[in-house]
Each structure stands twice: as structure tokens, then as C-alpha cells.
């Protein structure tokens, strides 16, 4: 209730601190860790207010390109030297069903944080779906190792604090590539920090359990790197400009996620202004090549 | 999700439209059932390949064939080339289109490899400006379903798809970026790009 009131206020920057304190940290069990993150988060939010608004689907705003490219080269070295060999070893050594179980387990632990974000976005239906999922998979799915909830019609609703900021009306900000973490935007970077601080389940667990959570999410990440190695390798190592490919890929995917089912502003190549001199693609010179 | 009866209806009208296409002039507007029928066909072909149990090399060849058969390669090629298409000679444009066709079908054929063992399902179609958006879902083993959108147009004179969105990431935009970067690396030399494209992908 209090959350809803805060969000509806038009001038809500002064409220940012109280939103963070009241909603995310009602119980200060790990005061030091939390307050450090909350200061970072608020600093990030203030920085976001200065971001230029941006709505285009295929456009990008990349004022930090030079620095981003340096980080990109670093990330590629990390992938080549550490992540890719590790993922390949993990994928070959650990049998598929076990990797899947570890991925399910890590995904299950992330659900309480997603529920909190859905509530902050005033999407109670999403929160309930992930809540049902969490209950079903934790019990019937044996602590989250199995995923019966998807078969029962409650697939995971993907969300995070970056989306919450989007719902609250914050602009995307500039594109950034983060060391180790990869492509992001200014808004999603703030979201990432808040999500780390938010982690309601992590706060409820003891330090040992938290390490299990982190270990399994590393496993889940390695499994993703292994499963999608074809596409990831192609983007990183086979494209002419891997930085530009990753940037356009990330931004399109992210905007698509945030837009939910909204009809995007599709580009019509048949009306392409660059193509006017050759308006008829089927004119004589191309006819021969088109014939199958 | 559609019932089998409606699906049959779509398929039948698609067949009827296919028959009509051979006699009717191409000026007639594409309808939603026709767009759906094309993608139903694409999806059926892809499903047949990913569940055929053939060797991977063989599947890649099949994917290439599907790509060439159902997509509007000339328009995709020209759009990927972007501004450079303006100054290209007709002969260069023609050579580029041929080279691009091999490159793009190899590359996206490989991408469909991730669907092996899974299945694709047509969900819904809706008109957009003067083309259609057809939504499909890829169900993969042990993964959350993936949304794959095809954009279908009949502006070429045939019903063909001209763009694919996998989880929002679209082929035209990615290829324009890629071809642009390749052209930059070759100081804008289109002939060198064409030669290299025949080996790329």
C-alpha cells in the first residue's frame, strides 16, 4: 500500500531513499552490507535522472563507446581464457540432467527476488505465478531441483529491478559493457546492484546456504555458456565487429523483454530509403540470382 | 494456441491462396491466413528436419534449403548492405545477393541447430502496416520456451518472410551491423566483401 502511494507521487526522487529503506530493508539483519548497497543504488538512481530518454527500438545511445570497447576486449579475454574452457569442461563432465537440476535449483532461489520486483511493478499476477512456482518446485520439485511447475502451467516470469525502474518511468540511459558481467545499460546496472542488495532469500539464509546459492548460479551460468556456445561463439569470435553485434543484440533483446507483448515499431525494408535507386529488387539484374 | 480445426482451415486457405497466386496478379494484398500458411509450412519443414535424426551436416544443408525457399533473400541482402547498395552497380548488387544468400543460410541454418530435438509451434498472426507478423514458439529441451517471430510480405510477388526475430533480436538489424562492419574492414571495397562473403558464415 505504502509502495503504491510512493510510486504515484510525481516528484518522487526525494522518496527514493525511503523506498529503498522501507521496502527492501524492513529487517536490518545485515545492516552494513545493505546500507552500502542502498547508497550505491540511490547514487545510481540520481545519476539515472540525468540520462537522456530513449525509446527507439533499433537505435542506441553509446557515449562511452571507447571505454566500453576496452572493457569488451577484456571480457573476451576472460571468456577465452577462463569462462569458455570452464563451461566446456563443466558441460562435458557433468551429465545433462544434473546440469539441468542445478540450473533449476539456482532459478528457484531467484524467485523470491522476482516476486518482490513484480510487486514493486504493481503486477501482482506475476508475483502470484512465481509464488506458486516457488511453492510447487520447492516441495514437489524437491527443493527446486526439478521443475514440475512449468509443466503445470506456471513457467517462470522473468523480471528484475532494471525492469522495475523501467516500469517506474526511468529512461534506459547509455549502453555500458560491464567488466565480467557483460552488456548492460545505465538503468540495468543500477537494477543489478539493487537486485544484489534485495535478494530476500539470501538475507533469510545463513552464510553456508548462501554459498550453495552462489555456487549453483555459477553452475547455471556455465551451463548457459555451454548450451548456447554456438551462438555466443559466433557473436564473440566470428563476427566482424563483436562489440557492435553484442550491443545491438543485447539492446534488442532487453527492449523486447521490457516491452512485453507490445507491437514493436517494425522496420520495413521494402520502404528502405537507402534502397530507392533499386526499388524493384526483382528487376533484371537480380532475376537471375533469385531463380531457384 | 489454435484448435486443429482452425489450423486446418488456415492450411486449406493457404493452399487455396497458393493456387490463386499462380493465376492472380501479385497486386492483391497478403491476408493473415496466407501469412500463417507460409509460416505453418516453414515450421513444418523445420520440425521435420530437427526431428529427422540425420547427421548435423545434413541438417545444416536442409536448413539452408528452407531458408532459400521461404525467405526473400534479395530484399534481406539489399537491406543488410544499407547505404552501400546505393552506389553499387547492378552487377555488384547481383553478385552480392548471391554471395549473401549462401552466407545467410549457412549462418541462420546453424542457429536453428539449437532447436534440434525440440519443436516449433505457430501461435498467432496479425497484420502490421502492409505485412504480417507471425509469432511462433520454440520448445527446447530443458529450456524456457523461446519466441520466434517471422515477418511475412508478398511485395516480392510471392509470400515470403523477410525478417526473423529470435527473442527480439532481429536478423535485418544484426546483418546490417555485421555487413557494415565487414565493409568498413575492407575500406568500403564491395568486390572484396563479395569474395570474402562466399567463404563466411
The parent domain of residue B49 ranges over 32-197
- Please give the average per-residue pLDDT across A207-221, as a whole number: 88
Residues in B closer than 8 angstroms to A155, CB to CB, are 144-145
Question: How many structural domains does chain B have?
Answer: 1
Q: How many C-beta atoms surround the C-beta of residue B188 within 10 A?
A: 11
Residues in B closer than 8 angstroms to A108, CB to CB, are none
B31-59 per-position pLDDT tens digit: 888 888 888 888 888 888 888 888 877 88
Nearest residue to A213 via CA among A194, A234, A199, A233: A199
| E strand residue ranges, A56-121 | none
pTM of the complete model: 0.76
Whole-angstrom distance, CA of residue B134 vs CA of residue B126:
7
* Residue A94 CA to its chain's centroid (Å): 26
Q: pLDDT above 70 covers what percent of chain A? A: 73
Q: Is residue B185 domain-resident?
A: yes
- CATH number for the domain spanning B171: value is 3.10.450.710
Length of chain B: 201
Q: Is residue B135 domain-resident?
A: yes
ipTM above 0.85, yes or no: no
Structural domain boundaries in chain A = 49-256
A46-67 per-position pLDDT tens digit: 555 544 444 344 578 999 999 9
Q: What are phi and psi of A284, to 5 degrees?
A: -40, -50
The alpha carbon of residue A274 is apart from the nearest alpha carbon of chain B, in Å, by 5
- Please give the average per-residue pLDDT across A69-76, as a whole number: 98
* Chain-chain contact of A231 with B114 (C-beta, under 8 angstroms): yes
B57: three-class secondary structure by DSSP: helix
Residue A2 has pLDDT above 60, yes or no: no
Residue A17 has pLDDT above 90, yes or no: no
A105-122 per-position pLDDT tens digit: 999 999 999 999 999 999
Q: Is residue B145 domain-resident?
A: yes
pLDDT of A52 reads 43
Residue B87 has pLDDT above 50, yes or no: yes
Residue A276 has pLDDT above 60, yes or no: no
* Chain-chain contact of B133 with A266 (C-beta, under 8 angstroms): yes
pLDDT of A45 reads 56
* Chain-chain contact of A263 with B129 (C-beta, under 8 angstroms): no
Residues in B closer than 8 angstroms to A278, CB to CB, are 78, 85, 90, 93
Kindly indicate the confidence band of residue A34, based on its pLDDT and cuts at 50, 70 and 90.
very low
Amino acid at each position: 500500500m505504502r509502495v503504491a502511494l510512493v510510486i504515484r507521487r510525481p516528484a518522487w526522487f526525494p522518496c527514493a531513499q525511503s523506498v529503498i529503506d522501507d521496502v527492501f530493508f524492513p529487517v536490518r539483519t545485515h545492516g552494513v552490507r545493505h546500507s552500502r548497497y542502498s547508497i550505491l543504488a540511490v547514487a545510481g538512481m540520481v545519476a539515472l535522472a540525468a540520462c537522456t530518454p530513449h525509446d527507439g527500438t533499433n537505435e542506441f545511445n553509446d557515449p562511452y563507446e571507447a571505454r566500453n570497447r576496452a572493457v569488451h576486449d577484456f571480457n573476451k579475454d576472460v571468456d577465452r581464457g577462463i569462462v569458455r574452457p570452464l563451461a566446456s569442461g563443466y558441460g562435458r563432465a557433468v551429465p545433462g540432467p544434473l546440469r539441468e537440476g542445478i540450473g533449476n535449483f539456482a532459478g528457484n532461489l531467484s524467485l523470491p527476488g522476482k516476486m518482490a520486483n513484480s510487486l514493486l511493478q504493481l503486477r501482482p499476477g506475476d508475483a502470484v505465478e512465481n509464488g506458486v512456482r516457488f511453492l510447487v518446485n520447492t516441495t514437489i520439485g524437491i527443493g527446486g531441483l526439478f521443475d514440475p511447475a512449468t509443466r503445470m502451467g506456471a513457467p517462470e516470469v522473468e523480471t528484475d529491478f532494471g525492469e522495475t525502474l523501467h516500469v517506474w518511468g526511468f529512461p534506459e540511459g547509455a549502453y555500458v559493457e560491464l567488466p565480467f558481467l557483460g552488456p548492460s545499460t545505465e538503468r540495468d546496472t543500477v537494477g543489478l546492484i539493487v537486485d544484489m542488495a534485495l535478494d530476500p532469500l539470501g538475507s533469510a539464509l545463513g552464510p553456508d546456504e548462501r554459498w550453495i546459492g552462489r555456487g549453483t548460479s555459477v553452475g547455471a551460468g556455465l551451463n548457459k555458456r555451454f548450451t548456447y556456445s554456438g551462438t555466443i561463439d559466433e557473436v564473440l569470435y566470428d563476427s566482424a565487429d563483436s562489440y557492435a553485434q553484442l550491443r545491438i543484440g543485447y539492446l534488442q533483446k532487453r527492449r523486447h523483454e521490457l516491452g512485453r507483448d507490445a507491437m514493436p515499431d517494425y522496420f520495413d525494408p521494402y520502404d528502405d530509403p537507402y534502397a530507392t535507386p533499386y526499388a524493384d529488387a526483382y528487376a533484371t539484374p537480380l532475376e537471375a540470382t533469385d531463380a531457384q | 494456441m489454435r484448435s486443429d480445426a482452425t489450423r486446418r482451415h488456415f492450411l486449406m486457405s493457404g493452399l487455396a491462396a497458393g493456387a490463386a497466386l499462380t493465376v492472380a496478379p501479385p497486386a492483391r494484398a497478403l491476408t493473415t491466413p496466407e501469412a500463417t500458411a507460409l509460416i505453418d509450412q516453414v515450421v513444418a519443414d523445420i520440425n521435420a528436419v530437427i526431428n529427422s535424426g540425420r547427421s548435423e551436416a545434413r541438417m545444416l544443408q536442409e536448413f539452408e534449403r528452407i531458408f532459400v525457399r521461404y525467405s526473400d533473400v534479395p530484399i534481406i541482402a539489399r537491406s543488410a548492405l544499407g547505404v552501400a547498395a546505393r552506389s553499387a552497380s547492378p552487377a555488384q548488387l547481383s553478385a552480392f545477393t548471391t554471395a549473401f544468400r549462401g552466407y545467410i543460410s549457412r549462418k541462420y541454418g546453424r542457429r536453428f541447430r539449437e532447436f534440434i530435438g525440440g519443436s516449433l509451434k505457430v501461435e498467432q498472426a496479425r497484420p502490421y502496416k502492409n505485412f504480417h507478423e507471425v509469432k511462433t514458439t520454440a520448445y527446447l529441451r530443458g529450456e524456457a520456451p523461446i519466441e520466434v517471430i517471422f515477418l511475412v510480405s508478398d511485395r516480392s510477388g510471392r509470400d515470403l518472410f523477410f525478417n526473423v526475430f529470435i527473442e527480439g533480436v532481429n536478423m535485418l538489424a544484426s546483418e546490417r551491423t555485421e555487413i557494415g562492419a565487414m565493409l568498413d574492414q575492407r575500406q568500403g571495397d564491395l568486390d572484396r566483401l563479395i569474395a570474402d562473403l562466399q567463404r563466411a558464415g
